[in-house]
Amino acid sequence: MPTTTTRPSRGSELDLSVESLAYGGAGVARLDSYVVFVEGAVPGDRVRAVVSRAKRSYAYARATEILEPGADRIDPVADHPGAAWQVLAYGQQLEVKQAQVEDALRRIGGLDGFALEPIVPAAEQWRYRNKLEYSFGGGPGDRLQCGFHAPGRWDEVVDIRDCLLASAAANEARERIVAWCAARRLEPYDRRTGEGLVRNLVVREGRRTGDLQVRLVTSDGELDRQGLATAGEGLAGVLWTRISSVAEVTQGGETEVVGGSEWLEEDLFGMRFRLSPEAFFQTNSEMAERLFEIAVEFAQPSGFERVYDLYCGIGTIGLLMAPRVGEVLGLEIVPEAVADAISNARANEIDNARFYACDVRLALRELSARAGRPDVLVVDPPRAGLSRKVMRRIVEASPRRIVYVSCNPTTLAPNSAQLQEAGYKLTRVRPVDMFPQTPHIECVALLERSG
C-alpha cells in the first residue's frame, strides 16, 4: 500500500503502462501496488495521463497522449467519443467482454458451477443504434454545435456531422433540425449561467418500420412550432420538450407534438410495438431480438406457465412469451410505458397478458397473493440491479425459474449470489453484445430453485 506521500494528487501528470481493461472500459495501470484507472487507454499502451481523482489505494486519470501504442491498438473510425473501444479489433472486444462477465461472477459474486456460454456477437458493428441523444454546444456568436460531450467535460461538445452509430437516415434527420436551429440563431443552453435555449436533440428510429422521430429539448422559452414542424416534414414525429431544471436530462418536463405522431412504431418478431417518447426500449433493435429470444429459451415455456415480467417496460419480453405460456403479468413503474404495453398487447391480439403501473417493491407481494405464485419470473432491472427488498419479494414469490436480463454484470453477480443463498442456483449465463465499440455488456442468466 503506498504511503500518502507517494499517492498522486489531482492534476498530477503520470507516465503509465496499461496492463488490462477494467469493467466500464478504463485501462488499468499500476504505480507499484497503487492502481490507476486510465480513460482513453487500452492494454499495451504507454500513455501520459492526468489524474482527475485520487483515493487511498487507487486513482482515476485520463490519457492526454499515447506515447507508445499497444500492439493491439488500431486506428479509430468514428471522430467522436461515443465509441471508446473502436481502437480495439472487434474480436478482442468480444474476448474482453466475455472475460469481464466471468470475472464479475466469480470474483464479485463468489459463484461457481454455472455454464458461461459464448458471447453472442452483434449483427452490425456500426450504425446499429435506434436512439441517440445529442447535446448542443458553442457560445454566443459561434457556430451552433451538436454532438457529444467531450470525455470528462460538461462544458465542451464535440461537434458531429456523420455519427457512425446512427443510420444514414437518422443522421439526415438530425442535420435538418440542427440546420433549422442554426439558421434561427438559437443559442445553446449554458448550465453555468442558465442562459440559452437549445439543450439536446433526441433522434429515434424504427429500424424495421423506417419511422423516424426527432425531439428537440430546450429550456423554458418560446419556439416557432410551425417552423420546427416544417423542418421535420416527412418524419413520423416532431416533438418539443421544455425542461426547467439545470441538470443534463432529456426526460421529464413538458412535451408537445408539433408534427406527426407522439408515438414511434417498431416491428420485432413479427409483432408491432408502439413507443412513447420517453419509454425505454433496447437501443439495438436487431440484437434486442436475440436478447429476448435467449430470455424465452432460458424460461423453457411449455404452454402453461404463469410468468411475472418485472420492470417490463413496453412489454416486449412478456408479449414475446405470451403465446408460449399460460399467462403473463407485467409490472412497471412508468405509467406511459404500461399504457404502451397494454396498447401493444391489444394491437397484437394477445389476451393473456396484463400489465400494471406500480412499484415492484410494493406490488410484488400483493400480486403473488392475488394472482398466484409464478412459475417463471423474468426481471430486467436498471443498471443498479435489484434492491434487497425486491430480492426478498422475489424469494417470497418462489418462482421455479428466474430469468435475469442484465445490463451490468457487476450487479448481476451480487444479486445472483444473494439468490443462491436463498435457495436458487445460477446455471446458465450468456453474454450478448448489444453495443459494439463500447464497453457495455448485456447478459441473460438463468437461476433455478434448488430441489
Cα–Cα distance measured from residue 81 to residue 61, given in angstroms and rounded to the nearest whole number: 16
Query: What local confidence, expressed as pLDDT, does residue 1 receive?
Result: 38
End-to-end CA distance of the chain: 46
pLDDT digits (tens, 9 = 90+) for 351-382: 999 999 999 999 999 999 999 999 999 999 99
Residue-wise pLDDT tens digits, 202-235: 999 999 999 999 999 999 999 999 999 999 999 9
Grid coordinates belonging to 94: 468480444
pLDDT value at residue 140: 54
Comparing 253 with 400, the larger pLDDT belongs to 400
Q: In the prediction, which pLDDT does 279 show?
A: 86
In whole angstroms, what is the distance from residue 227 CA to residue 356 CA?
A: 39
Mean pLDDT value of segment 263-289: 93
Task: Look at residue 2 in the predicted model and tell me its pLDDT.
Answer: 40
The per-residue pLDDT for range 97-109, each reduced to its tens digit, is: 999 999 999 999 9
* Domains along the chain with CATH numbers: 13-73 (2.40.50.140), 93-124+284-449 (3.40.50.150), 131-265 (2.40.50.1070)
User: What is the structure's pLDDT at 5?
Assistant: 45
Q: Which of 141, 137, 133, 142 is nearest to 155 (CA)?
A: 137
CA 199 – CA 217 distance, rounded (Å): 6
- Catalytically annotated residue among 146, 163, 181, 407: 407
Q: How far is CA 398 from the centre of its chain?
A: 29
Is residue 81 over pLDDT 90?
Answer: no
Q: Which of 297, 279, 290, 292 is nearest to 341 (CA)?
A: 279
Q: What pLDDT sits at residue 248?
A: 78
Contact indicator for 45, 72 with CB cutoff of 8 Å? no
Residue 4: its pLDDT value, please? 44
What's the pLDDT score for residue 184?
Answer: 94
Per-residue confidence (pLDDT) for residue 3, from 0 to 100? 43
| Cα–Cα dist 144/189, whole Å | 11
Identify the three-state secondary structure at position 150. coil
Q: What percent of the chain has pLDDT over 90?
A: 87
Helix (H) or strand (E) holding 96: helix 90-103
Measured CA to CA, the distance from residue 25 to residue 31 in angstroms comes to 19
407 is catalytic: yes
Mean pLDDT of the region 308-324? 96
Task: Check residue 269 and report its DSSP letter.
Answer: T
Q: What is the pLDDT of residue 7?
A: 84
- Mean confidence (pLDDT) of the chain: 94
> Does the pLDDT value for residue 18 go beyond 60?
yes
Mean pLDDT (whole number) for 434-442: 97
User: What's the pTM?
Assistant: 0.94
Question: Which amino acid is residue 160, in one-letter code?
Answer: I
**Nearest Cα to Cα of residue 313 among 294, 284, 336:** 336
| pLDDT single digits (tens) 125-178 | 999 999 999 999 985 567 899 999 887 777 788 899 899 999 999 999 999 999
Distances (CA, A) of 1 to 12, 162, 406: 19, 47, 34
What's the mean pLDDT in 182-196? 91
Closest by Cα among 236, 272, 273 to 257: 236
Write down the H helix ranges in 306-398: 316-321, 335-347, 360-371, 388-397
pLDDT one-digit tens code per residue, 23-80: 999 999 999 889 999 999 999 999 999 999 999 999 999 999 999 999 999 999 998 8
In this predicted structure, the answer to whether residue 180 has a pLDDT above a threshold of 60 is yes
CB 391 within 8 A of CB 310: no
pLDDT at position 14, please? 96
